[in-house]
Chain A
């Protein structure tokens, strides 16, 4: 089945130690998104890629970076994780950004713990 895969499902890192979260997709979608979801809150968009074009949300901290080496893979890099960055990180894909009817397909998320 076509899907969005996130690895690992659970990630533990230390305060200030860089960490990378991975997302891959078999849907061949040209758009990939990263959302942050803190405990008991709604998901919040960090940034998205339309093909290789990177689009950052205005309030996304500089501590968060992303890479998309090819259509299938996208990475979220947190350069110096703080305690406040502990959250579920959700990857999603869609086939176009400009179509307001297109649905987004989400992965199961990676839960990040910062010690």
Chain B
């Protein structure tokens, strides 16, 4: 499976935008980029996914580099409830059943 690299941790102030980067230089042409997050003491939850184009939903935006070797999850206004571990995951259609979690980025949000 293609690997992702994320910073171990990031900090943000409440109400500020947060940009969470992910590098995936070995991504294949058919890999989808997924983001999940795991709030404290909870199971992971889906955030967003994309293939080539930038994507927006009610939770976040996903910006994908033109060469697809990196992507950025954007939380437009961080709140305390966004404090979580954010996982960037590549999903290969051939093994689409699997979510192979990397180490993720632990986001701290402060007042």
Residues of chain A touching chain B, judged by Cβ–Cβ distance below 8 Å, are: 4, 31, 33, 42-45, 48, 50, 55, 90-92, 94, 96-109
CB of A53, distance to nearest CB on chain B (Å) = 11
Q: Are the C-beta atoms of B103 and A42 separated by less than 8 Å?
A: yes
Out of A45, A90, A94, A100, which one reaches B43, CB within 8 Å?
Answer: A90
Alpha-carbon gap, A91 to B49, bound state (A) = 21
Q: For the complex, give the distance between the alpha carbons of A96 and B42 in Å.
A: 23
Contacts of A107 in B (CB 8 A): 43
Cβ of B98 under 8 Å from chain A: yes
Q: For chain B residues 18-52, which have a beta carbon within 8 Å of chain A? A: 30-32, 34, 38, 41-46, 49
Q: Is B13 an interface residue (CB 8 A)?
A: no
Instruction: Please determine whether B101 and A108 come into contact, CB atoms closer than 8 angstroms.
Output: no
Beyond A42-B101, A42-B102, whether A100 also contacts B91 by CB under 8 A is yes
A7 to chain B, nearest CB (A): 14
A48-B103 contact in complex given A92-B43, A100-B92, C-beta closer than 8 Å: no
